[in-house]
Amino acid sequence: MHLQTDNHRWMLRPDVVSTVLNDGAVILDLRSKFFFSANPTGWAIAQMFETGATRAEVHDACRKWGAADAGIPEIDALIDQMISEGLVESVNTPASATNGVTVAAWVSPAFSKHREPLQRIMVSAFDPGLPLAE
Amino acid sequence: MTLAPTAQEQCTAAYSCGPVKLSLTFDKGSLQKALDGLLNQYDAPWAAPTTEVCVAIEHGLPPAHIPEPAGAYLHSYRLHVDRRGTHLVSFSNVGVWMDFDEAAKQARIIVPCHSDRETVVEEVEQQLVLLLARAWAGQGWTPLHAGSLIPPGGTDCVLVCAPSGVGKTTLISALLCQGWRTLGDDKVLLRKENGSIVARALSRRIHLHPTLANWFPEIGEIEKWPRYSRWTEKRMVKMEAIWPGQLMGSAIPAGLVRLTRTENGPALEVEPFDSIRTLHTLLSQIVIPADTADARPLISCAAAMAGRLRAALVTVGNNAFANTSTAGRLEEALRGLLP
C-alpha cells in the first residue's frame, strides 16, 4: 500500500499518551517507550487522530488552518511517520465530530522522534534507570 | 514505626511512609526485622497519612491457579508486574509473589522458602517499593528519582536528576556544605497543588559513600552507619547528624539539573536546556507503567513542571570537588536557575 493514497481512518493507539507543553506537545508510546515531540501544527494534526481521521480529513483541516496545497507533502510525511512508527492504527469507526482543534498560525508541521527511549527494564518501581549488574 | 506481637512468631507493624501508612502483618517476625531498615527510611515529617494500605506477608507458595505475570505493566530488574483489573500482580526472580488490590488497599505477599535469604528479603523489599509507589500515585503524588537543593533562605528548589551512580549525592553534599538545604538525595514526591507543583521529602536519610569525606571533611567518619545495601559501600546516614537543620519538608521546584560526569573534561560545564529536553529528563526519572490510565497523571505532572523549570545540563569532572572552588562555581550556576 502506498501510504499517501490510503483511505483508512487512523486513530492513536490506546497506549499512546500525549501531553501538551508550552510550545507543542510530547507523545509517548508506552509500548515502545519512545517519545516524539511536535510543534503546535504537528500537535494539531496528531490531535485529529485522537478521535480518528482519514488523510483527506487531515488535509482539509490543514487547509482551513492555513496550509497551502504545496504544503500537503509535508503533512503526508508526518502522517506516514505516525503510521510507520505504529502510533496510529487503522480503525473501522465512522467519522466522528471534529474535536475542536485549532491552529493560531500555520507553520510547517514538525514531528521528531527522540533518540533515547525510556528504559524498558528498570532498577525498581521507584528508579527507572538501567539496572546494573549487582 | 509501631510493632506488636500477635502470636508466637507472628507480629504486626505499622510504618508511616510519607502520605501512606503501611500496616503489615507477618507470619514470622524475623522478616519484619529484615524489612525494618527499608520501611523506616521513609521517615520525613508529614502530617497524618492520608491513606492506609494493609499488607499480609506470609511464607508459602503462590496460588497455583493464577498465571504468572509477564511484566506487561512494569518490568524491573527483579519484578514482572501485570495489571488485572484493580489488582497489580507481581512476581519476583526468586518467587516472591504479591497481589495488591489498589481499590481495596490490601495486599498479600507470599514469600517462598529459598536458600538465598538475602535475595528473598531484597525482593520482598522491591514488592513493597512497588506497592508504595502505586499507593503514593493513588494519592496524587508522582514519585521522582531525583535529589533536590534549596538555597539558604529560599523556598524554591533545583531538582537534581541523574541515573544512580552518576553523582547526585556528591553534588548535593557539596552544596549542603555551602549551607544549601535539601529534600533528599534521590527520592521526592511531586504533586500539583493550587496551580503550582510542590515537592515533598520522603526520607531523613542520605546515602553517603565513605570516600566523600576526602572532599568534604565535615562529613566525618561515617563507617559506623549501616550500609545501604550489600551491593554498595554507601552508608544510610541521618541528615541531622551531619547537616542539622538542612533537611526541608517541602519546596517549589523552579530549576532542574541533569547531571552527567566526565573523566577527562573540565571540572564543571553548564549548558542550558529547552523544555523538551527537560521533559525527557523528568520522564527518565519517573517509573511510568505501560498502562494509559496509570501513566497519564505521572506524565501530566512532569509536563506541567517541564514548562516551568529553568534547566541545565551540568557536567562534572571526575575529581571536580577536589578543587574547593568547584562548589562555589556550582552554587553560582544553580542560583542562575532559580527566580
Alpha-carbon distance of A1 to A80, in angstroms, equals 12
Query: Is the confidence at residue B10, as pLDDT, over 70?
Result: yes
- Does the beta carbon of A56 lie under 8 angstroms from any beta carbon of chain B? no
Residue range B112-139, pLDDT digits in tens: 998 999 999 999 999 999 999 999 999 9
- Does the beta carbon of A125 lie under 8 angstroms from any beta carbon of chain B? yes
Residue whose C-alpha is closest to residue A26's, from A87, A96, A71: A87
Contacts of A23 in chain B (CB under 8 A): 275
Model pLDDT, residue B231: 85
From A120, A128, A134, residue closest to B286, measured CB to CB: A128
CATH topology of domain A3-96+104-113: Outer Surface Protein A; domain 3 (3.90.930)
Model pLDDT, residue B37: 86
Indicate yes or no: pTM above 0.95. Answer: no
Return the domain boundaries, chain A.
3-96+104-113
Q: How far is CA B116 from CA B86, B90, B94, B123, B165, in A?
A: 32, 19, 9, 11, 26
Q: Is the ipTM of this complex over 0.85?
A: yes
Alpha-carbon distance of B336 to B330, in angstroms, equals 10
Q: Are residue B52 and residue B118 in the same domain, yes or no?
A: yes
Model pLDDT, residue B1: 63
Segment 19-38 of chain A within 8 Å of chain B by CB: 19-23, 26, 28, 30-31, 35, 37
N-term to C-term CA, chain B: 39
The enclosing H or E element of A131 equals: none
Q: Are residue B117 and residue B41 in the same domain, yes or no?
A: yes
Q: Does the distance separating the beta carbons of B284 and A15 come in below 8 Å? A: no
Residue range B145-192, pLDDT digits in tens: 999 999 999 999 999 999 999 999 999 999 999 999 999 999 999 999
What total of structural domains would you count in chain B? 2
Residue range B277-327, pLDDT digits in tens: 999 999 999 999 999 999 999 999 999 999 899 999 999 998 899 888 999
Query: Is the confidence at residue A2, as pLDDT, over 70?
Result: no
Model pLDDT, residue B75: 96
Residue with the larger pLDDT of the pair B87 and A131: B87
Contacts of B134 in chain A (CB under 8 A): 125
* Best mutation target, B75, B96, B292, B310, to test chain A (most A CBs within 10 A): B292
- Does the beta carbon of A122 lie under 8 angstroms from any beta carbon of chain B? yes
Residue range B23-62, pLDDT digits in tens: 999 998 888 888 998 899 999 989 888 899 999 999 999 8
Parent domain of B134: 2-138
Residue whose C-alpha is closest to residue B209's, from B166, B145, B158, B175: B166
Model pLDDT, residue B229: 84
Alpha-carbon distance of A66 to B130, in angstroms, equals 49
Residue whose C-alpha is closest to residue A82's, from A94, A92, A70, A90: A90
Q: Are residue B128 and residue B203 in the same domain, yes or no?
A: no
Alpha-carbon distance of B146 to B285, in angstroms, equals 7
* Best mutation target, B94, B299, B309, to test chain A (most A CBs within 10 A): B299
Tell me which of B69, B103, B138 is where a domain ends: B138
- A134 band by pLDDT with thresholds 50, 70 and 90: very low
Contacts of B291 in chain A (CB under 8 A): 15, 30
Tell me which of B138, B167, B186 is where a domain ends: B138
Q: Does the distance separating the beta carbons of A21 and B306 come in below 8 Å? A: yes
What angle is formed at CA B271 by the lines to CA B270 and CA B276, rounded to 5 degrees? 135
Model pLDDT, residue A97: 64
Q: Are residue B128 and residue B158 in the same domain, yes or no?
A: no
Query: Is the confidence at residue B8, as pLDDT, over 60?
Result: no
Residue range B188-205, pLDDT digits in tens: 999 999 889 999 999 999
Q: What average pLDDT is seen over chain B? A: 93
Q: Are residue B98 and residue B151 in the same domain, yes or no?
A: no
Dihedral pair phi/psi, residue B278, rounded to 5°:
-65, -45
Q: Which residues pair with B255 in a beta bridge?
A: B158, B310
Contacts of B306 in chain A (CB under 8 A): 21
Residue range A78-100, pLDDT digits in tens: 999 999 999 999 998 877 766 78
Q: Are residue B134 and residue B165 in the same domain, yes or no?
A: no
CA nearest to B164 within chain A: A129
Identify the weakest region by mean pLDDT among A93-97, B102-106, B107-111, B333-337: A93-97
